[in-house]
């Protein structure tokens, strides 16, 4: 079911019947991915007196309460409101949902006993990119395996972006960054958040339209290259929201 589309003056084809979901689903169990010292999410039947919102317990419907933190419990998209005193909602700032994206796979390098993504690593990977202008960049870190779907990141100091790498993405015009890590910054940096601040141009004109999506998972079967990205975000009035980024392979007409 190939469909011809135009995007920013470019014409190409996508097959809408072949979506490539790169999100991590949220489950109310201990195996759910988690970060920042938080326990796993909870999905439980609502209780009110004798009422238990579960059909198997006698209710007419399943009626669950869900408790989770978008930053800690799965794929989420955040806006500059994540680091500003003034409130900014990702639901208000993200007003487009389709973007031309480039997927790259990169291996972090060891610096000062920590695994990091440097500007040089990104430059080398993007030299191979087929896109000349990249509005959305999807980063798959190596090694890559399905343990990322259930990994408990708290206290492990996962790889992160150096400030220079985030500044480079700002420089080349990347507006939407997607990565399979719990944060683009160091797990414990005493609140410096250098990569977030560089990407959103915190000390200049804030890039309110720019987003960072963390805790994605890109299976090995999805090859590096250009894609059409559909960035689906739940309509939460919050700095971050659960999201479901979906890629579509593209071909020129």
Kindly tell me if the per-residue pLDDT of 132 is higher than 70: no
Angle at 247 between CA 242 and CA 253, to 5 degrees: 150
Decide: 224 and 203 in contact? Cβ < 8 Å.
Answer: no
Per-residue confidence (pLDDT) for residue 128, from 0 to 100: 80
Residues 138, 225: Cα–Cα separation, whole Å? 10
Per-residue confidence (pLDDT) for residue 12, from 0 to 100: 84
Residues 22, 158: Cα–Cα separation, whole Å? 19
Mean pLDDT of 3-10: 79
Residues 59, 214: Cα–Cα separation, whole Å? 37
Looking at every residue in the chain, the average pLDDT score rounds to 95
Predicted confidence (pLDDT) per residue in 145-178, tens digit:
999 999 999 999 999 999 999 999 999 999 999 9
Decide: 180 and 33 in contact? Cβ < 8 Å.
Answer: no
Full-model pTM? 0.96
Per-residue confidence (pLDDT) for residue 158, from 0 to 100: 98
Which fold is adopted by the domain 2-24+70-252?
Glucose Oxidase; domain 1 (3.50.30)
Q: Is the peptide bond before 143 cis (omega within 30 degrees of 0)?
A: yes
Of the CA atoms within 13 Å of residue 116, those in its CB half-sphere come to: 17
Mean pLDDT of 73-82: 98
SS3 content of the chain, % helix, strand, coil (to 5): 15, 35, 50
Per-residue confidence (pLDDT) for residue 182, from 0 to 100: 98
Predicted confidence (pLDDT) per residue in 175-205, tens digit:
999 999 999 999 999 999 999 999 999 999 9
Per-residue confidence (pLDDT) for residue 5, from 0 to 100: 82
């Amino acid at each position: 079911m190939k469909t011809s589309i135009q995007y920013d003056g470019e014409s190409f084809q996508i097959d809408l019947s072949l979506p490539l979901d790169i999100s991590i689903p949220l489950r109310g169990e201990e195996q759910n991915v988690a970060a920042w010292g938080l326990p796993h999410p909870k999905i439980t039947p609502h209780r009110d007196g004798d009422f238990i919102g579960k059909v198997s317990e006698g209710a007419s419907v399943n009626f669950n309460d869900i408790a989770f933190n978008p930053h800690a419990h799965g794929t989420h998209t955040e806006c500059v409101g994540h680091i500003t005193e003034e409130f900014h909602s990702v639901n208000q700032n993200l007003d487009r949902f389709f973007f031309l994206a480039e997927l790259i796979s990169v291996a972090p390098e060891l610096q000062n006993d920590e695994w990091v993504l440097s500007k040089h690593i990104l430059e080398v990977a993007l030299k191979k990119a087929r896109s000349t202008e990249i509005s959305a960049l999807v980063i798959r870190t190596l090694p890559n395996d399905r343990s990322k779907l259930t990994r408990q990141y708290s206290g492990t100091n996962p790889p992160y972006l150096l400030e220079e790498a985030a500044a480079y993405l700002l420089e080349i015009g990347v507006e939407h960054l997607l990565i399979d890590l719990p944060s683009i910054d160091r797990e414990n940096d005493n609140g410096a958040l250098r990569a977030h601040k560089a990407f959103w141009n915190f000390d200049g004109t804030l890039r309110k339209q720019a987003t960072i999506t963390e805790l994605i998972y890109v299976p090995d079967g999805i090859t590096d290259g250009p894609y059409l990205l559909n960035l689906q975000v739940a309509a939460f009035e919050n700095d971050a929201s659960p999201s479901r980024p979906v890629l579509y392979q593209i071909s020129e007409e």
